[in-house]
Amino acid sequence: MNMKQHYDVIVVGAGIVGLAHAYTAALRGLKTLVIERDAACLGASIRNFGFVTVTGQRAGAHWSRAMRSRDIWASIAPQAGIDVVQQGLWMTARRPAAHAVLQAFMETDMSAGCELLRPEIAAQRHGALNTVGLQSVLYSPHELRVESRTAIPRLAAWLHEAKGVDFRFGEAVVEIDTPRVRTTRGEYAAERVAVCTNAAPGGLFAPIWEEHGVRQCQLQMLRLRPQPGFQLQGSVMGDLSLIRYEGYAALSPATQLRTQLEEEESASLAHGIHLIVVQSADGTLVVGDSHHYGAAVQPFASEDVDAIILRHLRETLRLSEANVVERWVGTYPSSSAVPCIIHAPSDAVRAVTVTSGSGASTALGLAEEVFAAW
C-alpha cells in the first residue's frame, strides 16, 4: 500500500473530462493527481471520432462551452504534440425539409462564420461530396479533429511532463472522505476531489446519476480504407444529424424533417443512426454511428446496423472503394434531460460527467466552469 500522499486536487478518471480538469487545475498552480482504474484510458474518450463539434450543439451554455473547448484544443494540441488532422464541418441537406432547417440555423447567432452553400459551389470546394440531389451544404470552419486513440494518452503524458500532473493507472477509488481518498492500492489526501468517471451504474455517485436518468449508450463505429487519393476537406454529416443535434433539432423546421425521416428512414431512427465521417492521417475514414441505450452496454455489434451506416456513407460521398478494416463498439453516459451534470456533495468534492456524447467537444470548457465556481 502507498503511504498517504498530499495533493491540492485529485481527479478520478483519465478520460477527456478528467484530463480537462487536471489541465485546468495545473494551470491554476495546483498540485494534481489523476487516478484511473484501468491500466490505460479505454472508455468513451478513445472510442469516438475525436471530433470537436461546435456547430449543432445545444444553444446557449453548451454551445459556448464547445466553442471555448475548441479554442483550448487549438492552443494545447501543438504544445502537447497532438496533430489536428482535420478542420471544418460539411453538413449536407438532401431533403427540402433539411435545407429549411439549415436556413433557420443561419438565422441564429450560432451561425457566425458559417456558410450555406449551393450544391454546385460545395462540389467545387469539396470534391469528395456526392452533391447530386442535394439542396444545400452548410460549411462550418469551427470544428477540428484529433485522433482520439493517440491524442488522449499524449495529452496525459504532456500533462505529466510539462505540467507536473501525477498519474496512477490501474487503481480504483473505493472511498472519498475528504481529505482522505482511498483506492485499491493506497491512500491519498487532497483538499479537493473531482470525480470525472463515466457515470456507470454501481460506480461512485451512482444514485446521483440515476436521479438524472443517466443510461449507458452503445454505438457502433467502423474504419474504412477508401480508394487511393480520396480526401475529405473536413468532417461530414447529413440529414439525420439535423434531428439529433439539438442546435438544429430545436428549430421549428426540424419537426417537418423528423416526420419525413420517420417515414423514410424508420430503420435508421430505430437504431439511433446518423452519419458522421472523418478522415485520419493515414487516409482511412472513421464512420458511424448508432445509439442503443440501457443500464449496461452490450459488447455485441449488429451487421445490419453497420450495413445501414455504410449505405448512408455511399449516398453521401464519392467512393469507388470502401473496405472495412476495423469495427468497434463505443460507449458513453447519456441523459435526455441535461447535456452535462455537475454535482456538489460537499464543498470539497465535485462529480462531473458529460451526458450528451460531447465530451471531446465540451470538457475543456466545462472544467473551466467547474473551477471558476469552486
Whether 262 has a pLDDT exceeding 50, the answer reads yes
Whether 79 has a pLDDT exceeding 70, the answer reads yes
The lowest-confidence range among 160-169, 194-203, 278-287 is: 194-203
Q: Give the whole-angstrom CA distance, residue 305 versus residue 301.
A: 8
- pLDDT tens figures, 271-314: 999 999 999 999 999 999 999 998 877 788 999 999 999 999 99
Q: What is the mean pLDDT of residues 75-81?
A: 97
pLDDT the model gives residue 1: 44
Q: What is the mean pLDDT of residues 87-101?
A: 98
* pLDDT band at 37; cut points 50, 70, 90: very high
Q: Give the whole-angstrom CA distance, residue 336 versus residue 148.
A: 25
Tell me the CA distances in angstroms from 89 to 12, 39, 74, 255, 273, one per residue in order: 33, 34, 16, 23, 18
pLDDT the model gives residue 308: 98
Whether 372 has a pLDDT exceeding 60, the answer reads yes
The lowest-confidence range among 49-53, 106-110, 138-142, 155-159 is: 49-53
The identity of residue 285, as a single letter, is L
43 three-class SS: coil
Q: Provide CB contacts within 8 A for 84, sequence distance 6+.
A: 73, 74, 77, 144, 145, 146
Q: Report which secondary-structure segment, H or E, holds 159.
A: helix 148-163
Asked whether the beta carbons of 173 and 183 are under 8 A apart, the reply is yes
Mean per-residue pLDDT of the chain: 95
Copy the grid coordinates of residue 369: 466552469
Q: Of 15, 11, 10, 12, which Cα lies nearest the Cα of 363?
A: 15
This prediction has a pTM of 0.95
Whether 131 has a pLDDT exceeding 60, the answer reads yes
The lowest-confidence range among 18-27, 162-171, 298-307 is: 298-307
Q: Of 145, 148, 142, which Cα lies nearest the Cα of 19?
A: 148
Q: Give the whole-angstrom CA distance, residue 5 versus residue 170.
A: 17
How far, rounded to the nearest angstrom, does the alpha carbon of residue 161 sit from its chain's CA centroid? Answer: 25
pLDDT the model gives residue 22: 98
pLDDT the model gives residue 40: 85
Percent with pLDDT over 90 in the chain? 91
